[in-house]
Structure 1
């Protein structure tokens, strides 16, 4: 049985880790390098680093910071923010990233997914999808949740898989930072309709929310930020809890 993965997320703005609610109201959560070290030692399975204003500010991801984080950790490391070319990805992989995640650029130029998968392998390409419920439809957003796209969630997720993405990182904008649980019905739908792994993001507030993401949402991995950054839940505590509930995790 494949183990379920626990993934802390470092949302980076101006070189610092930040966290908000529903993609707004950001507050400082600490030094990314120190947090990355802490999570590696605590037993996180992977780490995600998102330069959350890079696309909006039309600039590239902070490569020097990626390099420093990569040197501080020994677990798989996914980087996103401002990536729009094969050269961007090559630079980040050279800096120490294991995988990259694209969102806005993928919606703008879907063929980029195929191009990256052909160049670096599908296992390296994670497509992040941010979606929000509007008039009964889950609409895909880009630009850090600022711009509404023409895509509906499931249609875009299927397109992404077909183009060669290795994983999908799905964030419900309605659940993000609320600590009321993940969007489990949607996660289950994506998991049943697609064959690639789905990472749940947005809404973790307690131990039971992770259990539900795996049991109800059928997610392959669960990502969280503030509850780890502000030490509301520790990774060893979470993994022990999941293990006690017969959910396979790497202890």
Structure 2
């Protein structure tokens, strides 16, 4: 029976937890710390914090938020947004992060992927991918919250990054993100087929049937934001649906 992790995704802008559609049209949800603690208590397998304006302003403001969360959360924490150097990774790890998700800086300088993997281990180096469909069966990697084209084919890019040392893929479908219309299953399938590292599908989760649709791809985790933020579904409820699909999920909450 294949294990599935359910990850609570928290997109941060300044001091606020926010949520958009297609990574745009952002609405304030509330205090990220309160939500992180609630998701942890409800049984999130991991927490994912993304500073969504960090690349724009060339800085990541999450260290204080991560420090507060790490004091009270005992599941892995992944941090992304504006991480451009080994020094930035060091700051996040000292703040309490277990993994870093790097997108823009990895595309700008792919050697960074190997540098992070060598210093901190491949398990720490998560490649963040923002994918947009450009043709049937083809997706282009984007940066800066789906605004900037890179010209890189998503499948080729994830293969290259894994060869360089990336130990995990955080795959966000910009087309599906915030729509509640389900994951981009062909995209997830293409990436899962291309690499032998864990893949987290993000963007589009809306209802229980979406888990059944994405499960056969071999995906290792799903990231959920909208459904949790607006309390349309709970983490135990999501996990019960996953179990009903024949997936192995951790049902108990924190000790």
Distance 1:202 1:81 in 2: 16
Distance 1:101 1:12 in 2: 14
SS of equivalent residue, structure 1 residue 174 = coil
Judging changes above 3 Å, is the alpha-carbon distance between structure 1 residues 61 and 166 closer, same or farther for their aligned structure 2 residues? Answer: farther
Task: Supply the RMSD in Å over aligned alpha carbons.
Answer: 1.2
Return structure 1 stretches of 4+ with deviation > 2 angstroms: 134-137
Question: Is structure 2 residue 148 aligned with structure 1 residue 147?
Answer: yes
Q: More displaced, 55-64 or 172-181?
A: 55-64
Partner residue, 2:38: 38
Q: Indicate conservation of the 8 Å contact 2:10/2:49, yes or no.
A: yes
Judging changes above 3 Å, is the alpha-carbon distance between structure 1 residues 2 and 246 closer, same or farther for their aligned structure 2 residues? Answer: closer
Partner residue, 2:178: 177
- Report the Cα offset of residue 140 of structure 1: 0.8
Q: More displaced, 144-153 or 46-55?
A: 144-153
Q: Indicate conservation of the 8 Å contact 1:10/1:48, yes or no.
A: yes
Q: Indicate conservation of the 8 Å contact 1:51/1:81, yes or no.
A: yes
TM-score by length of 2: 0.95
Question: Is structure 2 residue 138 aligned with structure 1 residue 158?
Answer: no
Distance 2:59 2:245 in 1: 44
SS of equivalent residue, structure 1 residue 178 = coil
Alignment of 1:1-251 (within 5 A): 1-136=1-136, 137-215=138-216, 217-251=217-251
Q: Indicate conservation of the 8 Å contact 2:81/2:101, yes or no.
A: yes
- Report the Cα offset of residue 112 of structure 1: 0.2
Distance 2:55 2:72 in 1: 26
Distance 2:175 2:60 in 1: 27
- Report the Cα offset of residue 72 of structure 1: 2.7
Distance 2:188 2:200 in 1: 9
How many residues are paired up? 250
